[in-house]
Chain A
Amino acid sequence: EAGVAQSPRYKIIEKRQSVAFWCNPISGHATLYWYQQILGQGPKLLIQFQNNGVVDDSQLPKDRFSAERLKGVDSTLKIQPAKLEDSAVYLCASSLVGLTYGYTFGSGTRLTVV
């Protein structure tokens, strides 16, 4: 079975620029998560989708971050404008609906804001 695909793997941008990350979950996984992982820390949930609906976005900085999951499959996470403190790895994960088993993470996108 193919894993969770993310792109790009690395991105370097200047502060105040915009950036977008893409995630393709495992086929059939209705639940999709975006996490922010700052170096040396555990991942922090940004947003959780179930199909194309948002379940939890309480920790998403909505003034600059946005995410969408059109058609309940692929998802994009956007930052506009980026700040230095946004430098982190952005992980996407997916799982089956209603199950806590089967969480699978993508390899992540490492963002550096300079």
Chain B
Amino acid sequence: KNQVEQSPQSLIILEGKNCTLQCNYTVSPFSNLRWYKQDTGRGPVSLTIMTFSENTKSNGRYTATLDADTKQSSLHITASQLSDSASYICVVSSDNNAGNMLTFGGGTRLMVKP
């Protein structure tokens, strides 16, 4: 069964600090891994997309890493801002005969405090 697990479930940090969110997956066949940011009451917005051959990808203060051997990914947020308070969802995509399938993690709820 395809699964995506994220940790921690929730995190509180002070403004300006860095943090790292974790994502472990068992999805086959693997196509790509995405990190989404979801503000309360809004739909998820894509931060990064990585394929099997990519180890790291940055989007501003967000840097995602992927270790396809251990099936782990991380999202590092540098110099956090109050606006980073949101849920961060790891999503793994799989292409099979039935088409495209996304497996969602449960998300990490991040709160950045002043």
Total inter-chain residue pairs, C-beta < 8 Å? 60
Interface size on A, as a range, is 20 to 34
**CB 8 Å contact bits of B14-32 with A (1 = contact, 0 = none):** 0000000000000000011
B99 at the interface (CB under 8 A from A): yes
CB-CB under 8 A for A43 and B44, given A100-B31, A100-B93, A100-B95: yes
Assess the B42–A31 pair: CB atoms within 8 A.
Answer: no
| Stretch of B54-62, B71-79, B103-111 that contacts chain A | B103-111
Assess the B99–A56 pair: CB atoms within 8 A.
Answer: yes
Interface residues of A in 38-52 (CB under 8 A from B): 40-45, 48, 50
Interface set of A (CB-CB < 8 Å, partner B): 4, 6, 31, 40-45, 48, 50, 55-56, 89, 91, 93, 95, 98-101, 103-108, 110
**CB 8 Å contact bits of B44-64 with A (1 = contact, 0 = none):** 111001000000000000000
Assess the B41–A110 pair: CB atoms within 8 A.
Answer: yes
- Consensus secondary structure, chain B interface: strand
Q: List 5 additional contacts besides A99-B100, A105-B36; criterion CB under 8 Å.
A: A42-B104, A93-B43, A100-B32, A107-B43, A108-B42
Chain A residues within an 8 Å CB radius of B102: 45, 100, 103
Interface set of B (CB-CB < 8 Å, partner A): 4, 31-32, 34, 36, 41-46, 49, 89, 93, 95, 98-102, 104-107, 109
Chain B residues within an 8 Å CB radius of A6: 43
In Å, the complex CA distance between A44 and B32 comes to 18
Residue of B nearest to A45 (CB): B102
Assess the B32–A91 pair: CB atoms within 8 A.
Answer: no
Q: Which of A42, A50, A91, A93 has the most CB of B within 10 A?
A: A42
Assess the A108–B99 pair: CB atoms within 8 A.
Answer: no
Given B45, B46, B89, which contacts A42 in the complex, CB threshold below 8 Å?
Answer: B89
Chain A residues within an 8 Å CB radius of B4: 42
